[in-house]
Structure 1
């Protein structure tokens, strides 16, 4: 036991880093355990899009959306998501796939959808970066288009 205490006192930064990493891993595990939405890969998203009446919601900003997005995606920026949630009500019983650039901004949108009673909510893991890495098609929109 004395050796442990000596190690901790001599290497307190390593012990502190280990404690921080352990805490973050446990937090991530607990958060993913209680999520009521599912993370899916881009390839599974394509399968869902082909087999169901799936709606894609892109939560990136309009200038990001214009550069390239998934065909038929609805652009609702995360900052305006709560205000524009009513536009998704007709699709409440349909599967909804949420995407952003890297997969982090879409998580709060998924949580909002689940709290609003949407039952089939999916998040593309890795976002549009992963979509493009898998060489899946994107559509560009003209800036002049309304």
Structure 2
């Protein structure tokens, strides 16, 4: 079951006119509470992907290329990340809009789930309806797959064990 994150202190400011239409810039600001974002864990994400949802990875391209959810699409949320600052990708919403329809169901993920929460907020306020954040990000996906592999190996060891008579 998807859960709503309880982080009242996290607020994302987005430009309301730009959120409604990312091709136009406006001047009104709206506060978006991150706790309104629906987050799914790795098991829930796997079920959604199995039933046809898509996965948007918002990490930098070099991180995406090191490993990602199979079939994921990469659109970086930031255009630059340094120790001093993170610069939001000015084309992010335009690129998302070019690939996904407003009614498409998709999951947004990063490495830990923090960047993807910000990206999910922007995407939702751009008028997308069925977007979910990947709680704990790609890291949790890797842990899930590792646990499944370990479980499968253990199961096969038992299957291959000789029967006692």
* TM-score > 0.5 by shorter chain: yes
Q: TM-score of the superposition, structure 2-length normalised?
A: 0.59
Please name the residue that 1:92 is paired with: 102
Where do 5+ consecutive residues of structure 2 fail to align?
A: 1-6, 11-31, 79-88, 149-165
How far 1:87 moved relative to its partner? Answer: 1.9
1:32 Cα deviation (Å)?
A: 4.7
Q: What do residues 86-131 of structure 1 show as CA deviations (whole Å, max 9, x unaligned)?
A: 3234x32121100000100001110111111111111111001111
Count how many residue pairs are aligned between Structure 1 and Structure 2. Answer: 109
1:54-96 deviation per Cα after TM superposition (whole angstroms, max 9, x unaligned): 121000001100010011111000123234233234x321211
Is the alpha carbon distance of 1:120 and 1:65 closer, same or farther for their aligned partners in structure 2, counting shifts above 3 Å? same
Distance 2:55 2:113 in 1: 14
Q: d(CA) in 2 for partners of 1:41 and 1:135?
A: 13
Q: Normalising by the residue count of structure 1, what TM-score does the alignment of the two structures yield?
A: 0.66
Aligned to 1:62: 61
Greater relative contact order (Cα < 8 A, sep 6+): 1
Distance between the aligned counterparts of 1:26 and 1:69, measured in 2? Answer: 30
Structure having the larger proportion of residues in helix? 1
* Unaligned runs of at least 5 residues, structure 1: 1-24, 138-146
Instruction: Give 2:118's aligned residue.
Output: 108
Q: Choose 1 or 2 for highest CA Rg.
A: 1
User: Residues 60 and 26 from structure 1, CA distance in 2 versus in 1: closer, same or farther, beyond 3 angstroms?
Assistant: closer
